[in-house]
Amino acid sequence: MSKRKIMSVLIILVVLIVSTTTLFAGGASEKKAGAATKTYAIVYPIVHPFFEPVTVSAEAYAKKMGYKVITRAPEGVGVNQQIEIMENLIAMKVDGIAIVPTDPDALAPYIDKAIDAGIPTICFESDNQESKRLAFLGTYNYNAGRHLGSIVGRELNGKGTMIICTGLPTQRSLNERIQGIEDELAENFPGVKILDIQTGQGDPNLTVNVIETQIQAYPDFDVFTSIDATGGPAAVAIWKSLGWTKDDHKIITFDDMEENVQGVRDGQVTSIVSQKQWLWGELIIKTLDDILDGKTVADSTDTGTVEITIANVDTYRN
């Protein structure tokens, strides 16, 4: 064989070896990347700024881990939209779902359907114990209600009146808070009376109308409380339009919405009982990861509440 032919054969062999090595190396790399990629879905009850810290936390942790996060929320307040979202996520075969069920009775079958399809599903913010959900994390809302009730009793020195506006009437977390307030007042501050409880359905415009109607019906109330994240900002706006401060009528409300926090600074809001939703996103992803890895997770995890006042308004998340 001539030298030229020998060199040609050697070159062909080198090219084949390099190509084969690259092919297998690339295949292994793609398989590894594919195996590492998980897609988790977070389903909110409504589109609302309250949940933005959850998304931020979840996406930051997912990016670090190489995962994908899908967030979904109904455009309106109907439970059917959340059901449709669950059906779509099950069809997509996502790796895990975390949901705030707007209606426990209606959502339980779809949580179960996801579990039966091999998709780990947990609840956060509002539980659904009738379902097969694998874990709950967030606030123990009955305790949160008692926390707020104790603040109302303290601020009124045990005697006065309050009006309450809540959100979606089927949402368990909100109803548990109301029960907590009622029990705390009955047991420890019997001189504080609840004059009225109405629902704004989680709709900002309707909530403003409801609160204005309550104010007209009970002009001598001492404290206004919103049970969801919609009512506090609505009340702050109303107080500002009327020129009221906390010395006229107190706002003692739930959730650290930007308007509520600014209301503390500006003197409309006396106190806020805040959940720690900024912790939930990473905790959701870690919990779903542990379930997929076959680890035992707590059935229920309480992330607690914090009271926000003028004294700690700039440091409460530290």
- pLDDT-based confidence at residue 23 (cuts at 50, 70, 90): very low
Same domain (yes/no): 56, 126: yes
Together in a domain, 250 and 282: no
Indicate the pLDDT class of residue 25, thresholds 50, 70 and 90.
Answer: very low
Position 13 confidence tier, pLDDT thresholds 50, 70, 90? very low
* Domain-located, residue 164: yes
Query: What's the mean pLDDT in 156-168?
Result: 97
Residue 4: pLDDT above 90?
A: no
More confident residue, 34 or 43: 43
| Pairing mode of beta strands 269-275, 305-308 | antiparallel
> Does the pLDDT of residue 162 top 50, yes or no?
yes
Read off the pLDDT of residues 60-81 as tens digits, 9 standing for 90 and up.
Answer: 999 999 999 999 999 876 799 9
pLDDT of residue 75: 85
Asked if 93 and 145 sit in the same domain, the reply is no
Residue 210 counted as domain residue = yes
**pLDDT for 22 beyond 50:** no
- Could you tell me if 46 and 164 lie in one domain? no
Domain assignment present for residue 43? The answer is: yes
Do residues 233 and 298 share a domain?
Answer: no
Q: Are residues 145 and 189 in the same domain?
A: yes
How large is the average pLDDT for residues 74-96? 93
Is 26 a member of any domain? no
Cα(281)–Cα(5) distance, integer angstroms: 64
33 domain residue, yes or no:
no
Q: Do the domain assignments include residue 226?
A: yes
Domain with 111 in it: 38-139+278-304
Sort strands 121-124 and 39-43 into parallel, antiparallel or unpaired.
Answer: unpaired
Is the domain of 146 the same as that of 271?
Answer: yes
Residue 15, pLDDT above cutoff 60: no
Q: Which of 55, 127, 60, 121 is nearest to 86 (CA)?
A: 121
Q: How confident is the model at residue 271 (pLDDT cuts 50, 70, 90)?
A: very high
130 secondary structure, DSSP code? T
Say yes or no: 256 and 156 in one domain.
yes
198/247 same-domain check: yes
- In this predicted structure, what is the pLDDT of residue 156? 98
Average pLDDT over residues 104-132: 96
What CATH number corresponds to the domain at position 105?
A: 3.40.50.2300
Higher pLDDT, 117 or 9: 117
| 23 inside domain | no
pLDDT for residue 30 is more than 50: no
Count of domains in the chain?
A: 2
Query: How does residue 210 score in pLDDT terms, banded at 50, 70 and 90?
Result: very high
- Using the predicted structure, report yes or no on whether residue 21 has a pLDDT greater than 70: no
Q: Could you tell me if 174 and 228 are in contact, meaning their C-beta atoms sit under 8 angstroms apart? A: yes
Above 60 in pLDDT, residue 259?
A: yes
Say whether both 89 and 214 belong to one domain. no
Rg (CA), the chain: 26
Instruction: Output the average pLDDT for the chain.
Output: 89
Query: In which residue are the tokens 């359905």 written?
Result: 201
In the predicted structure, residue 10 carries a pLDDT above the cut 90: no
Q: Contact 42/70 with Cβ under 8 angstroms?
A: yes
Q: What's the average model confidence in pLDDT over 21-47?
A: 58
**DSSP-derived secondary structure letter, 157:** T
Which tokens is 304 given? 């607690």
Mark which of 255, 275, 295 sits at the end of a domain.
275
pLDDT at 195: 98
Q: Percentage of residues in the chain with pLDDT exceeding 70?
A: 88
Angle, helix 104-116 to helix 79-92, in steps of 10 degrees: 0
pLDDT of residue 12: 36
**Same domain flag for 264 and 157:** yes
- Do 97 and 114 reside in the same domain of the chain? yes
Dist. CA 127–CA 173, nearest whole Å: 7
> Is the predicted pLDDT of residue 56 greater than 80, yes or no?
yes
Query: Does residue 261 fall inside a structural domain?
Result: yes
Using the predicted structure, report yes or no on whether residue 26 has a pLDDT greater than 50: no
